[in-house]
Chains A and B, each alone.
Chain A
Amino acid sequence: MITARQYIDEVKLRLLRNNVNADFDDMTILSQINRARRNVVSMTVDIFPEFFINKTIITVSEPYGINYEPTLSTNKYGGGEIIVHRYNISEGDFIKPLEVWLDFIDIVLGVRRVWQVRIVTRKEFHNTLKHSMNAPLPSSMVCCFEQNITNGSTSLIIGFDGTNFKEFIYNPACCDLHVYYFCLPVDLELYSDSNLGSIVYPEPFSKDMEYDIPPHLQELVILQAILYLLISLKQQGVYQRFKDEFNIVWSMIYSNKEIEKYQKETLLPSKKPIEGVNFPINLLNLSNEGGE
């Protein structure tokens, strides 16, 4: 319900009211707004996870096809083999994985199934493939993620039980990995007024809408963008004033999130611990939240 134009107006208005007459053009402000949005998402992705989830679908290739990783594939303890594939995740907004599902129509019964893939850390991946008690089962694959420092690309490494993969799972018609992950927001664009009413695509004032940042965090974005813009100016007093305001808004959001955890037992007293009153009184001490 807020657009790129409204963000820019809000930033300009507040700068003007603080007598900052520096000549910031729209595109400079917009790029700082986009930077601020990314920063706000990084700050809040752990406390508001449901707002920043995205999904991508990767098509699984043949068992010994181009994504086959011979150096990681191994023999299974007690017989059989583990087939390891490596898929590049091309999504640039990928922060960290949440869930991986394998969606396929099995080639024996023709039934469509979705199996969850276990996510393990990179360090335990090899051991997991080798363990006899913890190896990839026919119905539970194991995967891990890694990011290359040389080119920055993120890849998904997944280990299948070889026999099952070849004889049951792999179906050229339908075999996909659904990767849910935490994401950074897309950048907002600004379409000039001259496009208004024309058939130029994308349409102005409808495609530059804010879809990624929830409404209660948009104030943080505005304040953060103003701070970014003020860094280059010698306006220490104004900078400090906005910094204080940013701290106040941020501390309100953070302390309310903490209080939410205690509300369940407050509202449902039968679920509370027995001794004493566990309400986090110290969270209500608001004297250290910046301000004057």
Chain B
Amino acid sequence: MVPHFKYTYRQIINEAMLLIEPYINIYNFDTSTIINQLIMAMRNMVYSLIPLKLWAFKNTVAIKHRSVVPLDFVKDIALVIQGDDANDFVVEARRVNFREYYQLWNWENCHHWNFARLLQPIYTFAGEPNVENRRMLIYIAPNNDFFNGGLPNFYSILEMPVGLLRGILEYYSVPSTLFTLDSELPFPDEFAELLVLDLCIRFLSYSADPYKIINLHRDILEKRRNLWNTFASQVIQERKEMDIFVEPTPPVSDLPPIKGEMENELT
């Protein structure tokens, strides 16, 4: 028995090459192109596979209020705000829409039942001109933006932090482009098959038999449909189980006795 180790880039490329082997020759194949196509295939597939495996494709970055969001950012998962030292608090911020950000953050006009506090921080994303390019920034509140001292009572009520809040942003991201051929594939192994097929369809084009391409397309669609159907049935199953868990319903009537059992006398 040979145990399964995680796929490497080299293995994925080899598998794809085995499939398209009859159609490649020295004029239409080179390794760097297929590596490039593999990167593009992964970048393209990440967003569509997130719902199938919510705990994969994750990356983390240390950020502060008004930090620039990294360029591989796809979607946020959570923001954990760190304290200043080991004894300080660690809390998770909640994501808000930019349209409600003002009402939760502003030191003067915010909601007094729902505003951002040190123990209930909020975050949102907005773009701003940054040096030469527009970049997407993260806004974390409470913060001292537009605040030059203000009225003393506001300061004490609103728990203004001393410095900028900083934390760890967890987010879904596309894979890095820096790797060696024997690096482990940063993709879940159950999607490797899909990745190989996608790579083939990118690589095969006019050079191949058109029927081969049609078959590959069909394979990809079928594979994706199977994945989605499995996912849907899993969701439905979980939902049914959790329904029972969340809302226990008393039996409406007694079960009839099975063979060999006394008839129960519950009223």
Contacts and interface: CB of A to CB of B under 8 A. Distances in A.
B177 interface: yes
B235 A112 contact: no
A-side interface size class = 35 or more
A274 B102 CA distance: 34
Nearest to B106: A114
Given A219-B44, A279-B236, A289-B221, 9 more contacts: A17-B203, A51-B136, A114-B106, A115-B108, A186-B134, A218-B43, A260-B51, A269-B245, A292-B221
B-side interface size class = 35 or more
Interface in A54-71: 54-56
Interface stretch (B67-75, B79-87, B258-266): B67-75
Given A112-B148, A260-B51, A17 B232 contact: no
13 contacts: A10-B40, A13-B33, A54-B127, A98-B98, A99-B102, A113-B108, A115-B109, A186-B134, A212-B134, A263-B51, A270-B246, A286-B225, A292-B218
A210 B135 CA distance: 10
A49 B205 CA distance: 35
B90 interface: no
Given A215-B174, A216-B74, A286-B225, A266 B129 contact: no
A256 B136 contact: no
Nearest to B242: A269
A244 B217 CA distance: 10
Interface string A97-124: 0110101010001011111100000000
B243 A269 contact: yes
B224 A50 contact: no
B205 A1 contact: no
B27 to A, nearest CB: 11
Interface in B151-189: 151, 173-174, 177
B31 interface: no
A261 B257 CA distance: 45
A79 to B, nearest CB: 25
The 4 closest A-B pairs by CB, nearest first: A216-B47, A269-B242, A17-B205, A19-B206
A9 B159 CA distance: 52
B48 A252 contact: yes
B63 to A, nearest CB: 15
B205 A269 contact: no
B74 A215 contact: yes
A18 B206 contact: yes
Contacts of B236: 277, 279
B229 interface: yes
Contact of B125 (A13, A50, A274, A284): A50
Nearest to A289: B221
B134 A211 contact: yes
Interface string A172-212: 00000000100100100000000000000000000101111
Contacts of A267: 54
B99 interface: yes
B253 interface: no
B56 to A, nearest CB: 14
Contacts of B35: none
Nearest to A93: B134
